[in-house]
Amino acid sequence: MALNSIGLVEVSSIAVGFLAEDAMLKAASVSLLVARTICSGKYLIAVGGDVASVQASVEAGVKVCAGSLIEKRTIVQVHESVFPAISMAVDLAPERIKALGFIETFSASSIIDVADAAAKSAEITLFRIHLAMAIGGKGFVLMTGDVASVEAAVAAGCALAAEEGILVGRGVIAAPSPELFQEYI
């Protein structure tokens, strides 16, 4: 199965979330990336696969949401570095860390779009995409690379987030303290 697109459904009911997850997985050949409760008693489902399968999966999930839908999103032709960053399976070599970039959004699903835009705009390494757990339903992305590349990537991601009105915060730290990476390396 080609993993080049991501579909997300966020609902206000955990019970409806389970129904939507089941419908999404039965509707098309997709891989489950994330399915879990998130802050404020909501439920988030993210699936990956080819464009047509992801679109069919999201639409099937939306059909069972009956007034509980908060957001649906399909992101096509996702940059390959997004998938390991979602699962937090990225190893960082300390010598590669020249700068730390971060973007925070009000929406968990929007941070994947933001991370994708950042990765497509500059030569950076996405190493964490955090979806809503213990942060009030928000999302954030962490990236590293040389200072100019990280600045360009953060600018690109922030432009998309600002366009949607969901940008919370951002920053770039040149030569970050190694302690900032202790739980990631």
- Between 20 and 183, the more confident residue is 20
Architecture of the 5-75 domain: 2-Layer Sandwich (3.30)
Say what the pLDDT of residue 30 is. Answer: 96
Say what the pLDDT of residue 184 is. Answer: 47
The DSSP call for residue 90 is -
The whole-number average pLDDT for the span 81-93 is 76
Instruction: Please classify residue 38 by burial: count the beta carbons closer than 10 Å to its beta carbon, then call 0-12 exposed, 13-18 middle and 19+ buried.
Output: buried
Bridge partners of 42?
Answer: 38
- Beta carbons within 8 Å of 165's beta carbon, 6+ residues apart: none
The C-alpha atoms of residue 2 and residue 94 are separated, in whole angstroms, by 32
The C-alpha atoms of residue 183 and residue 9 are separated, in whole angstroms, by 29
Q: Are strands 167-174 and 99-105 parallel, antiparallel or unpaired?
A: antiparallel
Which span out of 102-111, 114-123, 130-139 was modeled with the highest average pLDDT?
114-123
Q: Is residue 17 scored above 80 in pLDDT? A: yes
- Are 1 and 49 a contacting pair, CB within 8 Å? yes
The C-alpha atoms of residue 87 and residue 89 are separated, in whole angstroms, by 5
Q: Is residue 105 scored above 60 in pLDDT? A: yes
Q: Are strands 125-131 and 99-105 parallel, antiparallel or unpaired?
A: unpaired
Q: Where in the chain is the domain with CATH 3.30.70.1710?
A: 5-75, 82-181
pLDDT in tens, 27-50: 999 999 888 888 778 898 999 999
Q: Is residue 185 scored above 60 in pLDDT? A: no
pTM exceeds 0.75 = yes
CATH of domain 82-181: 3.30.70.1710
